[in-house]
């Protein structure tokens, strides 16, 4: 009797029916999400809100922290209409990164398709391509690019591992226009950089390829489809959502790389203690990236995402 009464009391207190399996799963999921929610609020939402406020202020570092004086649109007016380099740097950055992003995505998919095949040493090769993700450090890149492989070049030129002076001379001797030669040799000299930036994209594509059901390929074999037809009719449509994710990641990673001209300019303003102008430049650049991704999403969502 005592046992039964205790069970009844327990049921009344905890309402066993309300704690169904589904509710327990939701509760556990919420508990696991709490660290992410805390981090999202403290390390993302609050800093962004503060950055938006600082972009309208004159920001000074004082003994007690940061002092702000509201200035309105003066910071944005300066970077958009008075600074002769800011808009020009953004346009130049867009032109430089557009082709680089396409090359990274195409190269990543190509390598992922190769790594999805069965061959000896496949695990080792996969590890080598994932190596840049593990050691993606600016210091390591600097050592690899400047100390380990290169001799000293003039300060006016950007430093790359693969120098293309000989190729450039041959192309000029063939009578090819200077703009075409410069574009070709410019991207050829960045082969190492583009390859180094493709590690995570290759892994994402490889995971998407391995998720394709074997039955799809069996149907292709029955229909007698070639490998080219198999890729465009099965592989590419199935990995299209992953392609969009890879594209978004590549755009953000490329646009926020400290080595591009816009980010270098923003960091220079911070170092020179022009904090209000630097924050306004960063906020405008952030909004431009969000707008660009939003436009691309609207243009591709019907074709990319599979219901």
Q: At what angle do helices 86-115 and 261-271 cross, to 10 degrees?
A: 130
> What is the spatial distance between Cα 152 and Cα 297, in angstroms, rounded to a whole number?
44
> At which residue do the structure tokens 């202020």 appear?
57
Q: Is the model's pLDDT at 246 over the cut of 60?
A: yes
Helix ranges restricted to H, the chain:
2-14, 21-40, 46-54, 74-77, 86-115, 122-134, 138-142, 165-173, 178-188, 191-196, 199-210, 214-223, 227-230, 236-238, 240-255, 261-271, 275-304
Model confidence at 185, pLDDT cuts 50, 70, 90, reads: low
> What is the spatial distance between Cα 208 and Cα 200, in angstroms, rounded to a whole number?
13
| CA quadruple 171, 176, 178, 183: dihedral, nearest 10 | -70
Model confidence at 303, pLDDT cuts 50, 70, 90, reads: low
Q: What is the pLDDT of residue 275?
A: 85
**Looking at the domain assignment, is residue 52 inside a domain?**
no
Sign of dihedral through CA atoms 139, 287, 43, 66? positive
**Looking at the domain assignment, is residue 214 inside a domain?**
yes
Model confidence at 157, pLDDT cuts 50, 70, 90, reads: very low
Q: What is the pLDDT of residue 149?
A: 43
Residue 204 near residue 246 (C-beta atoms within 8 A): yes
**Looking at the domain assignment, is residue 210 inside a domain?**
yes
| Mean pLDDT, the chain, integer | 75
Max Cα distance, the chain (Å): 103
- Number of domains, the chain: 1
Q: What is the pLDDT of residue 307?
A: 44
Q: What is the pLDDT of residue 179?
A: 60
Q: What is the pLDDT of residue 117?
A: 80
**Looking at the domain assignment, is residue 107 inside a domain?**
yes
Q: Is the model's pLDDT at 273 over the cut of 50?
A: yes
| Partners of residue 61 on adjacent β-strands | 66
DSSP 20-31: -HHHHHHHHHHH
Give the structural domain span for 91. 85-147+197-255
Helix, strand, or coil here: 117?
coil
Q: Is the model's pLDDT at 261 over the cut of 60?
A: yes
Q: Is the model's pLDDT at 205 over the cut of 50?
A: yes
**Looking at the domain assignment, is residue 291 inside a domain?**
no
DSSP at 17: G
Query: Is the overall model pTM greater than 0.85, yes or no?
Result: no
Structure tokens at 213: 């059901």
Q: What integer is the mean pLDDT of 12-19?
A: 54
Q: Is the model's pLDDT at 139 over the cut of 60?
A: no
Helix, strand, or coil here: 302?
helix
**Looking at the domain assignment, is residue 25 inside a domain?**
no
Q: What integer is the mean pLDDT of 197-223?
A: 83
> What is the spatial distance between Cα 168 and Cα 157, in angstroms, rounded to a whole number?
14
**Looking at the domain assignment, is residue 111 inside a domain?**
yes
Q: What is the pLDDT of residues 99-133, one digit of tens each?
A: 788 888 888 888 888 888 877 777 777 777 666 66
**Looking at the domain assignment, is residue 165 inside a domain?**
no
């Amino acid at each position: 009797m005592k046992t039964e009464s205790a069970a009844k009391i327990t049921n009344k207190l905890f309402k066993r029916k309300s704690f169904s399996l589904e509710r327990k799963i939701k509760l556990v999921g919420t508990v696991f999400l709490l660290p992410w929610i805390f981090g999202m609020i403290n390390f993302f939402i609050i800093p962004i809100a503060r950055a938006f406020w600082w972009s309208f202020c004159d920001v000074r570092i004082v003994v007690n922290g940061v002092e702000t004086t509201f200035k309105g649109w003066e910071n944005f007016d300066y970077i958009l209409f008075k600074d002769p380099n800011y808009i020009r740097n953004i346009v130049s950055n867009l032109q430089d990164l557009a082709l680089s992003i396409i090359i990274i995505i195409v190269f990543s998919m190509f390598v992922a398709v190769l790594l999805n095949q069965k061959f000896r040493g496949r695990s080792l090769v996969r590890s080598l391509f994932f190596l840049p993700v593990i050691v993606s450090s600016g210091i390591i890149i600097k050592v690899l690019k400047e100390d380990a492989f290169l001799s000293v070049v003039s300060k006016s030129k950007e430093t790359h591992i693969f120098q293309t002076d000989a190729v450039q001379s041959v192309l000029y001797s063939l009578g090819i226009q200077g703009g075409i030669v410069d574009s070709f040799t410019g991207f050829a000299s960045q082969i190492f950089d583009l390859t180094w930036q493709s590690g995570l994209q290759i892994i994402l594509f490889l995971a998407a390829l391995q998720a394709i059901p074997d039955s799809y390929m069996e149907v292709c074999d029955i229909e007698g489809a070639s490998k080219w037809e198999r890729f465009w009719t099965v592989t590419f449509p199935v990995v299209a959502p992953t392609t969009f994710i890879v594209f978004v990641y590549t755009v953000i990673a490329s646009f926020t790389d400290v080595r591009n001209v816009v980010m270098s300019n923003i960091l220079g303003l911070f170092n020179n203690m022009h904090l209000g102008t630097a924050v306004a430049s960063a906020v405008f650049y952030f909004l431009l990236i969000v707008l660009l991704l939003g436009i691309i999403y609207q243009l591709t969502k019907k074709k990319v995402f599979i219901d």
